[in-house]
Amino acid sequence: MSTIKANRWAWIVSGVAMGGAGLILSFLLVFATQNSERYEPHYQWLLWANVALAASLILVILIALGRLALRLRARKFGSKLLLKLAGIFGLVGLLPGLLIYTVSYQFVSRSIETWFDVRVEGALEAGLNLGRSTLDNLTIDLANKARLAAERLSTPLSSTGQMGPPPATGIIELERLREQLGAQVVTLLTESGQVELTAGGDGTRILAAERLPLSWRQEARSKGVMALVEGLDDRNDDGLERKPDAAVAPLPSVARVLALAWMPDNSFSLQARGHYLLITQKLQPELVRNALDVQAAYREYQQRSLGRVGLKRMYIGTLTLALILAVFGAFLLAAILGQQLARPLLLLAEGVGTDWVNPGAPRTQRLPLSVYKGRYLSDVNGLQDFAENIRQRFELYANDPVPGERQQWQESYELSLPSNPEPLTLLVRGAELPPNERLIVFDDLTEVVSAQRAEAWSEVARRVAHEIKNPLTPIQLSAERMQMKLEDKLEDPSARQLLARSVNTIVTQVQALKTLINEFRDFARLPTAKLVPIDINDLVQDVMALYGHALEQGTLHVELGEGLPHILGDATLLRQVVHNLIQNAMDAVNESPLADEPARVLIRTDAPRKDDGSIRAVRLLVRDNGPGFPDKILKRAFEPYLTTKANGTGLGLAVVKKIADEHGALVRLRNLGDNNDSIPKNGSELGYPSQAHTVRGAQVSLSFSKLSSKTTQAGSH
């Protein structure tokens, strides 16, 4: 795996690990502060999950430190810088983490201790005792009232000798008793616990028949009366009322005090039996709620007080684990970011050890770097002026540096080489190195500048086509209408001829302008190439059908290679390219033919091969024996509106260059000398000729590197 991919995966793994650890720690703290029961069973696996993440980060850091140690032992370039960067980033993450941890440790320790104050505990106990005393007083008071009422009702009547009120007046008597006592329900039960009479409330029969335990009756019979509070235990442990949908017994409507008094039968009847008097008094809801809240708060306080040490350990352990994860993350990011920052230096060190640092090197040097080692730049033939400019720039920077400028300078230069059809645009950066050395870095911006020029000309073409084309048609129509209106009114023949010549000149120039505008529009609106496998030989033969007369005269010759692979291209756009190149060559040999040779244009297709015999590209050559390209054309060959033709627009080669870029093809222009050799020959240093050469033609070549698996058949004409 490459270094870039390895660093990318390291970023992904570390990011996922740190994100997961942060989420787990957040949930851990939330559960801890809530102190809910569901926290306890999840604590162990949350803790171990954090420990596992910490172990993973430790392993990654150990691997990174091991690799760094190996680099230091091997004395690789940039290892010390990487170590310093990792240490700096580690300290940046460690020191703030330690400060936050120390403050948090003290805060947690003291905050937990303040939760368990003696005064708070005393206040909770006082509140709980107050509630208990209130309920006890209510219970005792109702029990006394029930005893007195039972004694009064158990007194036998003098007339009948029967205990209690007669049944006819029993309900009235119980209702009067209920109102006197302020009770909710008053019930008279038999000795077996069956309801005999009841007054007030609803649901008392169910209460008396089903919920009057035997123990209650026994206690009431032995002590005379028993009393208790009912409805205070049907709550959750946290003191909150159960929800209606809870899977437990429903909560009673209200809490109340029950008093059960024994009514012995004091009559002298042989069938004498006693009764029970049950009095139910409702408790105030606010009193019940406050009492239960105090009880729940006291219970929770006692639970936390018992687990105070464990709670403190839990918080401190969580903070410690968070600190460890933060420190590990800081060291991991330090290693990764340090590697990212040191990568440009490592790339530079790797590039210095090779002959071909970038694609611009062979264009400027023409020979391997080893040929120029140990030589001054000014000693290289053809680079004397360039070396002098760089020397002056170094001296200018040393004598008058720009305030605030970094310890380097940069300038753009145009380097003209006769072996290249256009000058090279170079971005040169220079820096002084100790003890007395200089570093120069070249960036070839020729393609970038060319693309910017093409884009600028496209914008100009769009504006020109829009602004100029609109008034041309009215101008032509106005001139023709003027001729039609005035021709019959002019009696002088010379005046008529002058009018006709003037109108014809206007119409001719308007048509020429329309042609120019259309060509500009087509240049600006070239469609995007749709690449499909096509046969370059078939494409050339299709275009040759337009030049049948030149083929018959022997001016145009075609040599098609055999077994060429198909190229990936757009047939419509490539036909335009071939047509433009052939038309330019035909115009060159027709306007300025050589005196000692007949006009000749050659179209050739072939396939240059690599050293291992495989096909490198498919090439299309258009060669003529005309006057060749002037120097100004070679320097700016692909710029629009640059031509030597009287009626040319200068868009032919610009369109060719633009379409070639769409196909990823390489376009080369050069002049030909004797024996069709290029000028200058490649044997001289940096391509500079040692003597003048005679131009005997020109050549344009297109090399297509995007190939298909199909092959073509060939022939020649």
pLDDT in tens, 571-596: 888 988 898 899 888 888 887 767 67
d(CA 503, CA 516): 20
Q: Which residue has the higher pLDDT, 233 or 501?
A: 501
405: left (phi over 0), alpha (psi -120 to 50) or beta: beta
pLDDT score for 567: 92
What b/e string do you get for 517-537 counting C-beta neighbours within 10 Å, with b at 16 or more? bebbeebbeeeebeeeebbbb
pLDDT score for 239: 38
pLDDT tens for residues 522-573? 666 666 778 899 999 999 999 888 888 888 888 899 999 988 999 999 888 8
pLDDT over 70 at 221, yes or no? yes
pLDDT over 60 at 254, yes or no? yes
Looking at residue 609, what DSSP letter applies? B
Number of domains the chain contains: 5
d(CA 464, CA 658): 19
pLDDT score for 440: 84
* Residue 685 domain flag: yes
pLDDT band of residue 242 (cuts 50, 70, 90) is: very low
pLDDT tens for residues 43-90? 566 667 666 766 776 777 777 778 878 888 887 766 777 777 777 777
pLDDT score for 209: 44
Return the biggest CA–CA distance within the chain. 169
Region 140-158: mean pLDDT is 78
Shared domain check, 402 and 272: no
pLDDT tens for residues 447-480? 777 777 777 777 777 776 666 767 777 888 888 8
Per the structure, the complete domain to which residue 79 belongs is given by 3-115+308-350
pLDDT band of residue 660 (cuts 50, 70, 90) is: confident
Q: Which residue has the higher pLDDT, 356 or 631?
A: 631
Cα atoms in the 13 Å half-sphere on the side-chain side of 620:
25
pLDDT over 80 at 431, yes or no? yes
pLDDT over 70 at 218, yes or no? yes
pLDDT over 50 at 682, yes or no? no
**CATH code, 149:** 3.30.450
Shared domain check, 563 and 629: yes
* Residue 126 domain flag: no
Range ranked top by mean pLDDT from 120-129, 223-232, 599-608 = 599-608
Shared domain check, 478 and 549: no
Region 513-527: mean pLDDT is 69
Sheet holding 556-560, edge to edge: 556-560, 601-606, 618-624, 698-704, 666-671
* Residue 498 domain flag: yes
Range ranked top by mean pLDDT from 61-70, 684-693, 708-717 = 61-70
Region 385-409: mean pLDDT is 73
What percent of the chain lies above the pLDDT cut of 70?
Answer: 65
Range ranked top by mean pLDDT from 244-253, 403-412, 460-469, 495-504 = 495-504
By the 8 A CB rule, do 586 and 557 touch?
no
pLDDT over 70 at 14, yes or no? no
Q: What is the mean pLDDT of the chain?
A: 73
pLDDT score for 39: 52
* Residue 301 domain flag: no
Q: Long-range pairs for 391-396 at CB < 8 Å and ≥24 separation?
A: 393/430, 394/430, 394/432, 394/438
Region 254-270: mean pLDDT is 76
What is the DSSP annotation of 659-703? HHHHTT-EEEEEEB-GGG-BSS-TTSGGG--SS------EEEEEE
Q: Which two tokens stand for residue 64?
A: 């990174």
pLDDT score for 417: 66
The residue ranges of DSSP E strands in 385-423, in sequence order, are 409-415
By the 8 A CB rule, do 414 and 364 touch?
no
* Residue 564 domain flag: yes
Shared domain check, 107 and 25: yes
Query: Peptide bond preceding 264: is omega within 30 degrees of 0, i.e. cis?
Result: no
Shared domain check, 459 and 433: no
Region 667-673: mean pLDDT is 83
* Residue 257 domain flag: yes
Let me know if 601 is exposed, middle or buried by CB neighbors in 10 A (0-12, 13-18, 19+).
Answer: buried
Shared domain check, 696 and 564: yes
Region 253-276: mean pLDDT is 74
Shared domain check, 562 and 676: yes
Domain boundary, last residue among 500, 524, 548: 524
* Residue 121 domain flag: no
pLDDT over 50 at 203, yes or no? no
**CATH code, 696:** 3.30.565.10
Shared domain check, 285 and 179: yes
pLDDT band of residue 182 (cuts 50, 70, 90) is: confident
Tally of CB atoms within 10 A around 22: 15
**CATH code, 515:** 1.10.287
pLDDT over 70 at 377, yes or no? yes
pLDDT over 90 at 638, yes or no? no
d(CA 339, CA 637): 45
pLDDT tens for residues 107-116? 877 776 666 6
pLDDT band of residue 316 (cuts 50, 70, 90) is: confident
Shared domain check, 255 and 186: yes
pLDDT score for 136: 86
| Distant-in-sequence, close-in-space partners of 43: CB < 8 Å, separation ≥ 6 | 28, 31, 314
Q: Which residue has the higher pLDDT, 390 or 336?
A: 390
* Residue 125 domain flag: no
Of 156-170, 265-279, 558-572, minimum mean pLDDT range = 156-170
Shared domain check, 471 and 421: no
pLDDT tens for residues 327-370? 777 776 776 676 677 777 767 666 655 444 444 444 444 555 55
Shared domain check, 538 and 516: no
Shared domain check, 492 and 461: yes
By the 8 A CB rule, do 419 and 366 touch?
yes
